[in-house]
Structure 1
Amino acid sequence: MPKTPSSRSLLAGFTVLAASLLGTVPAQASPTATSNTPLALTPPMGWNDWAHYGCDVTESTVVANADALVSTGLAAKGYNTVTVDDCWMARSRSASGHLVADPAKFPHGMAWLGSYLHSKGLKFGIYEDAGTQTCGGYPGSGPNHFATDARDFASWAVDYLKLDGCNVQSQPGMSTEAVYRQAYQAQAAALRSSGRAIIHSVSAPAYFQGGPNWLSVIGWSGQVGQLWREGADIAMYGSGSRWGSVMYNYGYNKGLTSFASPGNWNDPDFIIAGDGGLNADESRSQVALWAMMAAPLILSSDVTRLSSDSLAAIGNSNLIAVDQDPAGHQATVASSTSTTDVLVKQLANGDRAVAVLNRTTSARPASVSLSSVGMSGCVRAKDLWTGATSTTSSALTASIPAHGTAVWRLSAANGCVS
């Protein structure tokens, strides 16, 4: 898991690069990269422990958060994959070469945890690494354990694998990209042969961010998995500027529209809304922007302590519908200035979602002409925060709070009252 940059000075460069990608044609991708059954035809949703708990993850922590997903209603809204990140395993493999859960942290083991999650109507996700060790120094799958681990994951009823890219070893005569590609291809093949349909989250692009091979790696990631982490991690709980981290990850992800499609998703990392370090408007902005970008909605928070306002933002059914729209389009950037971004997303039924981000530290009025977002005539605009509807034949208007995001769903209307 790449570290979040200590400086945001590279953001402008990544934004310019990403903006230039709109015409880029990715390598032929497939939602059947790891299974004969198409997987993740809409962006995965769920919970992961990492950004809140780091290596302090335990069985009781996972169970408590899983139970909270169910009791709060978030699971019923789609947040149903519970993933255990790094540091879940013992420091060494068994004598026969198998991964073993840390008995102090996970006394019942991984098969029990998978069974528990499934009994709650949830799915089970797990973490490993394509290198010799995980980022936390635990046993990795590479280069010789992909098949063994995939079979074990299948036997534990794992539904989702996050495969990180720390400690991938160089090989004579091979480029770094070729070594990574070989490792992730091996994992994909092992998952396909495991006998269980397992979604594969690929971290390889994050290790090439900003370099000349970044786009190439993103391009082939859709051949070996269904989603990919393409850049720096979101800020950990209790660290630094979490809003700055949200904006950084949004910045590198927003231009990668050509790589997104059903079964293949750009992943700018976890939803941290409501988890400390973001105010209410910033939390709402992250949810709205991730939904517009068809990003995976994977919480990394203490779900047991989320406020009612946070739960309302994270569980906003209007925005979840935009994120999960079956057409699978990532929003395009209609306009961008130092103060605002306007995003437009075509939806499967012909509607369009429009979001306006206020980057500044003070409230700003916004006016977005219908023509600038590809609409004309009389339009019905539904505010996806309040649910209020109105009609217009000219422009969308709003007063947007500092670091806030206004978002509407637009559809054709029969007539506008002058």
Structure 2
Amino acid sequence: MKALPLATSGLNRATFVGCGRAYRRLCRALAGLSAILVSSALVLSDSSAFETPESPQGTTGTPSYPNLAPTPPMGWNSWLYYGCDVTEKAVLENARALVRSGLAARGYNTVTIDECWMTTKRDRAGDLVANPVKFPHGMPFVARRLHEMGLKFGIYADAGTTTCTKKFPGSVGHFQQDANLFARWGVDYLKLDGCHVPIAPSETKEETFHDVYRQMSQALLNTGRPIVFSVSAPAYFQYDGDSVWRKVIGWSSDIGNLWRSGRDIASERAAPAAKWPSIKYNFDYNSLLADMQKPGRWNDPDFLLAGNSGLTTEEIQSQMALWSVMAAPLISGTDLTKLSPAAFDVLSNREVIAVDQDRLGIQGRIVDKGAGFAVLSKPLANGDRAVALFNSGETERAITTSARAVGLPAARSYLLKDLVTDRVGRVGGTFSARVAPHATKLFRVRALSY
């Protein structure tokens, strides 16, 4: 999703050109005919990728989208830094930087081309077309190069009539065609935005969004290729009331693997003074959604700003720690070819990444909160707890919590490891740390039996 005010993002009543309730019988018939026509042209991947008996059941009672992201996705996306200046050269240079730096080996393995990659019109066959100036070798070439590097290929589309900049064609009315095209290109990850979705006359905004996103979800399944599906719908309902917002998140977890939960984070082009408040704002709304997330289904508070100008080391460490304790996707949005040593250290921290990627897949919860601070606790697979002490204020402060408060069992003492400094200590039932302004201390805490 791009940073457009929801009131002006094109979500006005219009004749709906997708398959709303009033159109479903006709659309089912057309979809069946389309499937027959395209089936001979599709090259299907191993269908075993879709045999996911352990996938969670969704809130609607229907089978969920396959669990293609058992841990939060990690990687790089072009939007924050490049915006509409994205090119094949920039994408491949950043991909090589992921591999060369070792970040890919630590989990950052998906490279996603965001908006502005396509031409302003579809071709005569109705297919989306990569901009030949920006991507002179085409998207299959980019996919091959990324796959040769051991990386996955992500791409952007929009569920409406046009993309968020209003310059490029949306996918409404073309969901199966676009899904088939992406599968042929070798796409592994789709981010589907929600700008300019025309609302069906007989439906609410929420019902229409559910319709169009469900259509793309099914279209991706029909291709036979395992494509991680990132749903942007909840971001368009953040201000529509908590019950509606949560309803949208609920069905997003049925039809996709992760979802943009709210407002966009600040881009590289934003004023430096806007970036820290943006991180804090996105943390605030996402931290309220722990009950909506489940293993394999991820709340996404948007990209990591490590490497962007206008942030201190404490601030980028804070975002990395908070996103990790919330089990959020870790997707870099900077120019990795110019990554500073400090930003690299933040992004590559194995211990912090391990908290994010813990196989229990549980989002950490706020266990204590006050003016200018919060304490979060996340259970880990080995019985430890990840504990974050977040100082959102403007002055240094001591933040105190207890083993009981963070959910640890009673014990004579606890092993406390600072995941940024690697310092290890032994503490009693209560522990405290002095935390700099805008900083977060992230600890792994273990109950000791001796």
TM-score (structure 2 length as normaliser): 0.85
TM-score (structure 1 length as normaliser): 0.91
Measured at CA, do residues 30 and 138 of structure 1 come closer, stay the same or move farther in structure 2, by a change above 3 Å? farther
Distance in 2 (CA, whole Å) between partners of 1:289 and 1:119 is 33
1:90 aligns with 2:123: no
Alignment equivalent of 1:382, drawn from 390, 395, 417 = 417
Runs of 4+ aligned residues of structure 1 deviating over 3 Å after TM superposition are 28-32, 138-142
Structure 2 counterpart of 1:280? 313
Matches for 1:149-228 after TM superposition, within 5 Å: 149-212=178-241, 213-228=244-259
Distance in 1 (CA, whole Å) between partners of 2:62 and 2:75 is 22
Q: What's the offset of the Cα at 1:277?
A: 1.8
- CA RMSD, aligned part only? 1.7
1:126 aligns with 2:155: yes
Q: Is the 8 A contact 1:184 1:224 kept in 2?
A: yes
1:289 aligns with 2:322: yes
Alignment equivalent of 1:263, drawn from 266, 271, 296 = 296
Structure 2 counterpart of 1:21? none
1:239 aligns with 2:270: yes
Structure 1 counterpart of 2:134? 105
Q: What's the offset of the Cα at 1:2?
A: 4.7
Distance in 2 (CA, whole Å) between partners of 1:211 and 1:294 is 25
Which range moves more in the overlay, 152-161 or 379-388? 379-388
Structure 2 counterpart of 1:393? 428
Structure 2 counterpart of 1:300? 333
Distance in 2 (CA, whole Å) between partners of 1:384 and 1:60 is 35
1:319 aligns with 2:348: no
Distance in 2 (CA, whole Å) between partners of 1:154 and 1:98 is 13
Q: What's the offset of the Cα at 1:316?
A: 0.7
Q: Is the 8 A contact 2:246 2:292 kept in 1?
A: no
Q: What's the offset of the Cα at 1:236?
A: 1.1
1:363 aligns with 2:392: no
Distance in 2 (CA, whole Å) between partners of 1:5 and 1:393 is 49
SS at match of 2:143: helix
Measured at CA, do residues 335 and 5 of structure 1 come closer, stay the same or move farther in structure 2, by a change above 3 Å? farther
Measured at CA, do residues 77 and 56 of structure 1 come closer, stay the same or move farther in structure 2, by a change above 3 Å? same
Distance in 1 (CA, whole Å) between partners of 2:314 and 2:306 is 9
* Higher RCO (Cα < 8 Å, 6 or more apart): 1
Q: Over alpha carbons, which structure has the higher Rg?
A: 2
Cα deviation code 1:66-111 (max 9, x no counterpart): 1100111100000010000000001100111001100000001100
Matches for 1:28-107 after TM superposition, within 5 Å: 32-33=64-65, 35=66, 38-107=67-136
Structure 2 counterpart of 1:3? 3
Structure 2: which 5+ residue stretches go unaligned? 7-56
Measured at CA, do residues 269 and 31 of structure 1 come closer, stay the same or move farther in structure 2, by a change above 3 Å? farther
Q: What's the offset of the Cα at 1:138?
A: 4.0
Q: Is the 8 A contact 2:116 2:168 kept in 1?
A: no
Alignment equivalent of 1:27, drawn from 49, 59, 67 = 59
Cα deviation code 1:145-204 (max 9, x no counterpart): 110111110111100000000010111111111111000000000000112000000000
SS at match of 1:385: coil
1:335 aligns with 2:368: yes
Measured at CA, do residues 242 and 109 of structure 1 come closer, stay the same or move farther in structure 2, by a change above 3 Å? same
SS at match of 2:299: strand
Structure 1 counterpart of 2:442? 407
Q: Is the 8 A contact 2:58 2:254 kept in 1?
A: no
Q: Is the 8 A contact 2:122 2:169 kept in 1?
A: no
Structure 2 counterpart of 1:15? none
2:429 partner amino acid = S
Measured at CA, do residues 290 and 81 of structure 1 come closer, stay the same or move farther in structure 2, by a change above 3 Å? same
SS at match of 2:75: strand
Q: Is the 8 A contact 2:58 2:64 kept in 1?
A: no
1:137 aligns with 2:166: yes
1:242 partner amino acid = K
Cα deviation code 1:322-365 (max 9, x no counterpart): 00011110011001111210000011111100000011122222
Q: Is the 8 A contact 1:29 1:220 kept in 2?
A: no
Structure 2 counterpart of 1:10? none
SS at match of 1:289: helix
Structure 1: which 5+ residue stretches go unaligned? 7-24
* Percentage of identical aligned residues: 47
Q: Is the 8 A contact 1:31 1:263 kept in 2?
A: no
Distance in 1 (CA, whole Å) between partners of 2:209 and 2:138 is 30
